Structure 1
Amino acid sequence: MKFFNIKNKLAFGGLLLTLLTVSSCQKYTELNPINSLSEATAFDTPANIELVAAGVYNTAAVGSYNGGSGRGYPFGAASIEQGEMRGEDMVNLATFYQITYESTYTSTTANNINLWSNLYALINQCNILIAGVEAAAAKGTITTAVSTQYAAEARFLRALAHHELVINFSRPYVDGNGSNIGIPYRTVAVNSTDAVSAQIQVPRGTVAEDYSKILADLDYAEANLPATRSTYAITRATKGAAIALKTRVKLHMNDFAGVITEGAKLGTSATTAPFTSPIGNYALTASPDGPFTGFSNNTESIFSIENSAAANGGVNGALANMFGPASLGGRGLVATSPNLYNASFWVTGDTRRTLLQIQQTTTGAKYFFNYKFRDYTNKTDYAPIIRYAEVLLNVAEAYSRTTALDTRALTLLNAVRNRAVPTASQYTILSFASQNALTQAILNERRIEFAGEGRRWPDITRLSQDANFQVAGGGIPAKILVTALSGTGSNWDAVLRPTTAAAKAAIAYSDYRYIWPIPTDELNANPNIAQNAGY
C-alpha cells in the first residue's frame, strides 16, 4: 500500500498550503483512509480546516496520473481535452489522446482510468471534508455556519464530479429518462478500514438516481454558499456557481422549464440585453476573449479551477501546453478541426477566429490551434468550468425548445454571439424559418463559443436521442485523421470553406464503445459493480 502524507506542500492561490491527499490499496478507487494524519489533527483548528479545504480544490485541479504527478485530472487540461477528443471539433495530431480520439480504450487504458480514479479521489476528499467540519462544529472548533459553508463547497464539487462520471461512463439521462445503469454515488467519508470495506461495495444505481443526488447536492450548495467572495472569487464555489451548474444538469435532463427557472435567478429572464446576474453580478465580457486574457478576474467566469506557477498540471497537463502550437511553446497535440473552422455557421468576420484561434508558424505544420490558454511558461491559465455565456445559451436553448421562435431565446443567443460577429451577420427572428432552425443556431453557437473548453462531448451525448439535433446516428462522430491535413494550412480557409474528409468512421450509439469501461481495479475491488456491456 502506498501512503501520502500531509507534509506534501504546494503553492495554491499564492499561499503555501498543506495538501491533504488520499491514496489507496486499490489504485484506481482512491478510497483508503488517511494514514499519515489523523482526522483529529486535520480538523482541530480553523486554520487546518482551511488548509484541508484548499487541498480539496487542489485535487480538483491537478490530480495524479497512474499514482504519480498530475496531468490535469479531474478538472484540468486532461479532462478538458478528453471532452474535446470524444467529439469532432478538434483533430488529434499525436499519440497523447489517440486512444480517446479513436475510441480504442479498454478497462486498463490510462486516460479513462485516471479520469475515474481522480474523480473518485476528489469525491472522497469532499466527503472527508464534510465529515470533518461537521465533527469540528460539534466540538466547537468552528461555528455551525462555517461548517455548513465548507460542507456546501464540498457538495458542489461532489456534484460536479459525479456528473462528469455519469456523462462518460453511463448512457445519457435522455435515454429512457435515466433508467439505464449509472455510477456509484459515494457520500460517505472513507476514513477507516471498515469504511473502506463498506464504501467500495457501493453498487451502481440508475442514471436518474445519480441526477437526483447531483441536484440535491447543488440545492444544498445554493442554499448555503455565499453569493460573492472577497478572495478566490471565481475559484471557490459560490451560490451562483451552484445555480449555473443546475442549468447545465437540467439541460442534460431535457428539463427545459427547470433550466429557465434556475437561469432566472441569474438574470436570464430580462427582456433585453445586456444581461447581468443579480447574484454574483455576472455579465458577459465586452470581447469574447475577456474570460481568457483576464482569466483570474473577469465578470463572466462563474467558476474556474485555479492554477499557479507552483501548482499546475505541468508540461503534460497544463492547458497552454496541451492546446498550444509548438511555435509558441506548446506541444501541438491537438488542432482545431478545419471543418469547424470552415463551417458555414461560423461567419466571416467573427472575431473568435482572430482572437481565440492561432496558426502554427512552423514550416510543414501550419495548423490552427485553440488560443484560449496562453501561459506556456508558468502554466497559470485557469481551467474554465462554467461561464455566464453558458448559462445564457442554456436558457436560450430551453426557451427555443419550449416555444416556437421565442424572441427570448433569440435575445439570449444574440447577447453571446453579437459581441463577436459583424452587424450584417447578426440574427433577427426573421433569420429562422422554424423552431428547429433557431435551436440549431443555438447549438452551433455552443460549438464556436466553447471550443477548447471540453463541452463538446457533453453536448453530443445529451443530444444523442434527439433525431433533429444529434450527430449522425446519435453516436460518436466521424473524425478527421492527421494524415488528411496539409502542411501548408490549406485545410483551414474561411473564404473557400473546404470540407476535410473524416476517415475515422462514426461509431453508432448502440455500440458498446459509446460509453467508457469501468476500470478493472474498480471491478476487482467492488463485487457489487458491473462492467459496462461489451467490455
Structure 2
Amino acid sequence: MKNIILIKRYAHIWLGGVLALMQLSSCSDILDKEPILETSATELFSSSKKISEYLEGVYQRLGSTLPSYFSTTDMRGDEFDDILQNGNLSAYDMNLSVDGTSGQWNGLYRAIGEANDFLNHLESARDVVGDAYEQYRSEALFVRALSYYYLTVLYARTYHLQPEALAVPLRLGTPETSQDDLAPSTIEAVHQQILADVSDAHIAALPTGKNSISGVTHATQAAAHVLRQRIYLERWEWQKAIDEGEAIQGYALGGLTDVFVPPYYTEESILSFPYGANNPNSLAASFYLANSTALEDTYSGIFALPLYAQEGDVRFSQLTYKPNTHRTITKYRDVSSGSDWIPVFRYSEVLLNLAEAYDQLGQEDKAKTLLLQVRRRAISAEDDQLNESSLSGRYLREAIYLERRIEFVGEGIRSIDIHRRGETFWKRKGGNEIIVGPADSGYIFPIPLSETSQNKLIKSDH
C-alpha cells in the first residue's frame, strides 16, 4: 500500500521530467521546444545540453500552474466578480469558501518536487555540467523558493501577526525521501528556507541578463532580489526590503502596453513565464476577457474609484474596455491559443515596493517620488485629477496602496497585498457582504485532502 501511495503522489517527478524536457537549440526558440518522450535519469544528465533541457522542464512545471494560481489570487481579492458563478473555476475563491478538494497545492508541490529532483541529480553530474553548475543549481533553488513563497500566500497565516503559525511542509530531499510523512513547518521556517535558497551566494551565481527571452524567462539576479524584497515586505522588515529594491539596477519604465504584447519582454520585465506552440494555454485571456469568468467588480474594484478610472490613464483607457455592464481587462488577449505570457515581476513593482517601505520608515519624500514615477508613466500631471500636494501621512500610504491595485490589476497581486498586511477581505457580491478577517477560517486555504489523507503528520485545520 505504501508503494502505491508513493507512486500516486510522486509519479509527477518522472512524468514531469518526460513531459518537460525540451530540446533547446538556442535562446530564441525557447517557445518551440519538443519533448523528449523516452529517457532515463542517466541519459538526462549525460551532457550539459540535456541538463539544460531538463532545467527548462523545471521552469515549465511551475509555469504550468501559475495561470491558475494567479486567477485564484485575483478572485480572492476585491477587484473581480465571477458573474458565471462557476464553482469549478473561481466562485469558491471569490467567496473565500475553498474546501479541502480545491486549491493550488498539488501544482506547486510538483514544481518543488521537480526542482528537488533536478538538484539531486545535478549534484552527481558536476563534472558533466562544468562551469554552469552553480548557475543551474541556483536557478533550480530559485524555482523552489518561488514555489514555497506562493504556497505561503494561500496556506499560511500573515507573518507579522503569527510568525510561528504552522504553514506547509518543507520537502527538500530526494524523491526517495520526499514521500515521507512530514509535519508542516512554521511560516518563519519557510521564510528562512526561501531566503537560504536565494542567498547572496546563489544570487551571485545567477545571470544578469535582461530585455531578452532568456533574461526574462529564467531566474536572474534581479528576479531573486525581487523575491527577497517580497519576503521582507511580508516580514515588515522595511529597510531590508529597501536594500533589495535598490540592488536592482538597469531596468526602466517604458511603454506599459508593450509588456503585454509580443515579444512580451521589455526593459521593465524582470520575470515572466512564456507560453507558446508547445507550452500553450496560459488561459489568462479566456479567464479575464469579456463574457468570461472574471469581470471588474463595479462596487469594490479599483475602477469604481473616479481617480483610478480616468480616460487619460493608460491602464484604464488602453488596458480595459467595457463591452456591456461590466469592465474587463485586456492585458491578455489570445483567447484561441492561450499564448499570452504571464508577468511575475515587473520593475514598476520594485518601485512601488520601495515606495511602501520608504513610507513605512517615514521617508515620505522618497516614497512620493517613487509613487509618482510609476503613476506619471501612465497618466500625465495635466490629465491627472489626483491632488499631488495632498499626498502625505495616511493619504500617501493609501495612494501607494491604490496605485498598486491599478498597476497590477489582473496580475494576481491584490489579495497577496491584503494577506501580507493582515487586512480584512471585504467585498459585496449581490446583496451579500463577504467579510473575512485574518483569524477567520476562510482567510487561508485548508490543506487539501490529497495531502491530509496520506500525510499522517499534517491536518487540514492548520
TM norm structure 2:
0.89
Match 1:444 to one of 402, 405, 421: 402
Match 2:288 to one of 312, 320, 323: 323
Match 1:142 to one of 101, 110, 129: 129
Alignment of 1:273-312 (within 5 A): 277=249, 281-285=250-254, 287-294=255-262, 296-312=264-280
The answer for unaligned runs of 5 or more in structure 1 is: 21-35, 63-72, 267-276, 327-331, 465-469, 482-501
- What is the distance in 1 between the residues matched to 2:357 and 2:17? 46
CA displacement 1:129-185 (0-9 Å, x = unmatched): 112222100xx2121x31111111111111110011011111011113x12112112
CA displacement 1:187-239 (0-9 Å, x = unmatched): 2121x3xx244xx3222111111111111111243121011166522001111
Q: Which amino acid aligns with 1:282?
A: Y
Q: Which amino acid aligns with 1:120?
A: Y
1:79 is matched with 69
CA contact (8 A) 2:268 2:346 kept: yes
Give how far 1:416 is off.
Answer: 0.5
CA displacement 1:451-475 (0-9 Å, x = unmatched): 00000111011111xxxxx3xxx2x
Q: Verify: 1:368 aligned to 2:327, yes or no.
A: yes
Go from structure 1 to structure 2 and tell me whether the alpha carbon gap of 1:235 and 1:372 turns closer, same or farther (over 3 Å shift).
same
Q: Verify: 1:102 aligned to 2:84, yes or no.
A: no
TM norm structure 1:
0.77
- What is the distance in 2 between the residues matched to 1:225 and 1:252? 24
3-state SS of paired residue (1:222): helix
2:434 is matched with 505
Higher helix share: 2
Go from structure 1 to structure 2 and tell me whether the alpha carbon gap of 1:437 and 1:158 turns closer, same or farther (over 3 Å shift).
same
Alignment of 1:186-225 (within 5 A): 186-190=171-175, 192=176, 195-197=177-179, 200-219=180-199, 220-225=201-206
- What is the distance in 2 between the residues matched to 1:254 and 1:295? 36
Match 1:414 to one of 372, 375, 378: 372
- What is the distance in 2 between the residues matched to 1:19 and 1:530? 39
CA displacement 1:479-506 (0-9 Å, x = unmatched): 334xxxxxxxxxxxxxxxxxxxx62421
2:4 is matched with none
Alignment of 1:124-523 (within 5 A): 124-137=113-126, 140-143=127-130, 145-176=131-162, 178-190=163-175, 192=176, 195-197=177-179, 200-219=180-199, 220-228=201-209, 231-266=213-248, 277=249, 281-285=250-254, 287-294=255-262, 296-313=264-281, 318-326=283-291, 332-339=292-299, 340-346=302-308, 348=310, 349-360=312-323, 365-403=324-362, 406-424=364-382, 425=384, 430-432=389-391, 434-464=392-422, 470=423, 474=424, 476-481=425-430, 503-523=432-452
Q: Which amino acid aligns with 1:15?
A: D
CA contact (8 A) 2:45 2:122 kept: yes
2:3 is matched with none
3-state SS of paired residue (1:164): helix
CA contact (8 A) 2:33 2:278 kept: no
Give how far 1:293 is off.
Answer: 2.6
CA contact (8 A) 2:72 2:93 kept: yes
- What is the distance in 2 between the residues matched to 1:295 and 1:223? 28
3-state SS of paired residue (2:450): helix
CA contact (8 A) 1:336 1:370 kept: yes
CA displacement 1:285-343 (0-9 Å, x = unmatched): 1x332211345231111000111133123xxx5111111124xxxxx111011232121
Go from structure 1 to structure 2 and tell me whether the alpha carbon gap of 1:309 and 1:60 turns closer, same or farther (over 3 Å shift).
same
3-state SS of paired residue (1:381): coil
Give how far 1:382 is off.
Answer: 0.7
Give how far 1:351 is off.
Answer: 2.2
- What is the distance in 1 between the residues matched to 2:221 and 2:385? 33
3-state SS of paired residue (1:423): coil
Go from structure 1 to structure 2 and tell me whether the alpha carbon gap of 1:347 and 1:258 turns closer, same or farther (over 3 Å shift).
same
- What is the distance in 2 between the residues matched to 1:205 and 1:19? 36
Alignment of 1:60-75 (within 5 A): 60-62=62-64, 73=65, 75=66
2:33 is matched with 16
- What is the distance in 2 between the residues matched to 1:208 and 1:456? 23
Go from structure 1 to structure 2 and tell me whether the alpha carbon gap of 1:384 and 1:201 turns closer, same or farther (over 3 Å shift).
same
Q: Which amino acid aligns with 1:224?
A: A
CA displacement 1:76-130 (0-9 Å, x = unmatched): 2x11111111111111122021111112221123xx1xx1001000001111111
Go from structure 1 to structure 2 and tell me whether the alpha carbon gap of 1:341 and 1:201 turns closer, same or farther (over 3 Å shift).
same
CA contact (8 A) 1:345 1:444 kept: no
RMSD between aligned residues:
2.2
Instruction: Kindly tell me the number of residue pairs found equivalent between the two proteins.
Output: 436
3-state SS of paired residue (2:411): coil
